[in-house]
Amino acid sequence: MNSRVLVLNQDSSPLMVCSVQRAFVLVYLNKSELVRPANGYRINSVTQSFPMPSVIRLNRYVNAPYKGVSLTRQNVFKRDNFECQYCGTRRDLTLDHVVPSSKGGAHTWINLVTACKRCNAKKGDYTPEEAQMILKRKPYKPSYALFLRDGNIQQTEWDEYLD
């Protein structure tokens, strides 16, 4: 039972991801309802069998503060699919400021990309245009729902709830 379960608020907005065990307890205690079971999987006790949850919805609305995605090294790597945004390799990854800090570049989502050490050294203290290097994708600030979808194996089952 290592799977993850998408938890929806009462208004069906994505709230978080939790373990199957936690989700099952919430459903069993009538604090949430099963929206979508995991395809064919079941949780068995000695006398009963229950469908394994994939998506649940809370019975009461939870007023959660704004869920933004924290700007961390791992989250930038995750956004960029763990590949260099200049050459596409997945080895020796580091962070690169698109506009170098020395030229006023900020430490923000739209100025940080994943780069391999080789490309980062080649680019040096220049912008991609000055170094004649092309970014594969323009950097962006990801949404919380996008991170929930992209960071979990069951994304196909969750797509309709995360769009």
If phi over 0 gives left and psi between -120 and 50 gives alpha, with beta otherwise, what is residue 132? Answer: left
* Mean pLDDT for the stretch of residues 118-132: 96
DSSP string, 99-123: S-GGGT--SSGGGEEEEEHHHHHHH
Residue 155: is its pLDDT beyond 70? no
Residue 64: is its pLDDT beyond 90? no
Work out the pLDDT band at 104, boundaries 50, 70, 90.
very high
Residue 133: is its pLDDT beyond 90? yes
Work out the pLDDT band at 54, boundaries 50, 70, 90.
very high
Residue 120: is its pLDDT beyond 90? yes
Residue 69: is its pLDDT beyond 90? no
Q: What contacts 149, CB < 8 A, 6 or more positions away?
A: 155, 158, 159, 162
pLDDT of residue 84: 97
Q: CA-to-CA distance for 132 and 15, rounded, in angstroms?
A: 42
| Domains of the chain in sequence order | 4-66+144-162 (no CATH), 69-142 (1.10.30)
Comparing 4-13, 110-119, 126-135, which segment has the lowest mean pLDDT? 4-13
pLDDT of residue 153: 53
pLDDT of residue 149: 65
Q: Is 73 helix (H, G, I), strand (E, B) or coil?
A: helix
* Mean pLDDT for the stretch of residues 16-21: 90
